[in-house]
A and B are shown apart, each in its own frame.
Chain A
Amino acid sequence: MASTAESVSSPARPEPPASQDGPRGNPWRRPWGLEGITWLYILWSIVPIGIAVLFSFNKGASQATWQGFSTKWYVGDQVTSVLHNPSLHHAVVQTLILGTVTTLICVPIGVGFAIGIDRWRTRTSQGLNLAMIFSFVIPELLLAVALFLLVTQALTFISLGTPAEVAGLVVWNLSWPAIIVRARLVSIGRSYEEAAADLGASRMGAIRRVLIPLLMPAIFASAVLVFASTVDDFVIVEQLSSTGNTQPMSVLIYSNVHGGLSGPALNALATILLVISLAVALIGFIAYRWMTRGERKNGSTEALTSIAGI
Chain B
Amino acid sequence: MGQRNTYDKRNRGLWIGLAAPGAIWLLVLFVAPFYVMLSVAGGGVNEFFQTVVPVWNPLHWSSFNFSAVWHDIVGTGAYIGPPALRTLVYTAIATVISLAVAYPVAYFVSRYAGERKGLFLVLLIAPFWVSYMMRMLAWIDLLQQGGFFNSALSFFGLPGNTDWLGGKSVTVILGLVYGYIPYLILVLYAFLDRIDQRLLEAARDLGLSKWRTFWSVTVPLSKPAIVAGCFITALPMVGDYFTNQLLSGAPGTTMIGNAIEGQLSSPGQTGQGAVLALMLLVILLIPMVYYVISTARASREMA
- Report the minimum CB–CB distance from B54 to chain A (whole Å): 5
- Report the minimum CB–CB distance from B36 to chain A (whole Å): 5
The answer to whether A37 touches B274, judged by C-beta atoms less than 8 angstroms apart, is no
User: Does A73 belong to the interface (CB within 8 Å)?
Assistant: no
Chain A residues 280-310 with CB under 8 Å of chain B are 281, 300-301, 304-305, 308-310
Which of B57-65, B75-83, B116-124, B216-224 contacts its partner? B116-124
Chain A residues 101-152 with CB under 8 Å of chain B are 108-110, 112-113, 115-117, 119-121, 125, 128, 130-135, 137-143, 145-150
User: How far is it, in angstroms, between the C-alpha of A42 and the C-alpha of B54 when the chains are bound?
Assistant: 49
Q: Which residues of B contact A281 (CB under 8 A)?
A: 129
User: Does A100 belong to the interface (CB within 8 Å)?
Assistant: no
User: How far is it, in angstroms, between the C-alpha of A281 and the C-alpha of B146 when the chains are bound?
Assistant: 35
User: Does B66 belong to the interface (CB within 8 Å)?
Assistant: no
The answer to whether A137 touches B292, judged by C-beta atoms less than 8 angstroms apart, is yes
The answer to whether B121 touches A301, judged by C-beta atoms less than 8 angstroms apart, is yes
User: How far is it, in angstroms, between the C-alpha of A115 and the C-alpha of B19 when the chains are bound?
Assistant: 7
The answer to whether A203 touches B16, judged by C-beta atoms less than 8 angstroms apart, is no
The answer to whether B131 touches A250, judged by C-beta atoms less than 8 angstroms apart, is yes
User: How far is it, in angstroms, between the C-alpha of A300 and the C-alpha of B113 when the chains are bound?
Assistant: 15
Chain A residue at minimum C-beta to C-beta distance from B174: A44
Chain B residue at minimum C-beta to C-beta distance from A308: B125
The answer to whether B134 touches A149, judged by C-beta atoms less than 8 angstroms apart, is no
User: Does B92 belong to the interface (CB within 8 Å)?
Assistant: no
Instruction: Known contacts A30-B112, A64-B141; decide if A277 and B130 are in contact (CB<8 Å).
Output: yes
The answer to whether B36 touches A150, judged by C-beta atoms less than 8 angstroms apart, is yes
Interface size in chain B (residues, C-beta < 8 A)? 119
The answer to whether B26 touches A52, judged by C-beta atoms less than 8 angstroms apart, is no
User: How far is it, in angstroms, between the C-alpha of A249 and the C-alpha of B1 when the chains are bound?
Assistant: 51
Chain B residues 23-59 with CB under 8 Å of chain A are 23, 25-34, 36-37, 39-40, 52, 54
Chain A residue at minimum C-beta to C-beta distance from B26: A131
Query: Chain A binding site: helix, strand, loop or mixed by DSSP?
Result: helix
User: Does B153 belong to the interface (CB within 8 Å)?
Assistant: no
The answer to whether B40 touches A139, judged by C-beta atoms less than 8 angstroms apart, is no
- Report the minimum CB–CB distance from B232 to chain A (whole Å): 8
- Report the minimum CB–CB distance from A136 to chain B (whole Å): 9
- Report the minimum CB–CB distance from A236 to chain B (whole Å): 11
The answer to whether A300 touches B118, judged by C-beta atoms less than 8 angstroms apart, is yes
The answer to whether B194 touches A203, judged by C-beta atoms less than 8 angstroms apart, is no
A-binding residues in B (CB < 8 A): 3-4, 7-8, 11-12, 14-23, 25-34, 36-37, 39-40, 52, 54, 101, 104-105, 107-115, 117-118, 120-142, 144, 146-148, 151, 178, 181-182, 186-187, 189-190, 193-195, 197, 204, 209-210, 231-232, 235-236, 238-242, 245-246, 249, 257, 260-261, 264, 270, 273-274, 277, 280-281, 284, 288, 291-292, 295-296, 299, 302-303
- 9 tightest A-B CB contacts, nearest first: A116-B19, A139-B239, A113-B22, A9-B114, A146-B33, A120-B15, A116-B18, A52-B138, A141-B239
8 extra interface residue pairs, beta carbon distance < 8 Å, beyond A64-B146, A119-B8, A134-B30: A8-B114, A38-B108, A112-B20, A120-B8, A134-B292, A135-B26, A141-B261, A310-B189
9 contacts between A and B (CB under 8 A): A42-B123, A49-B130, A128-B26, A133-B292, A138-B288, A155-B28, A171-B26, A257-B136, A270-B131
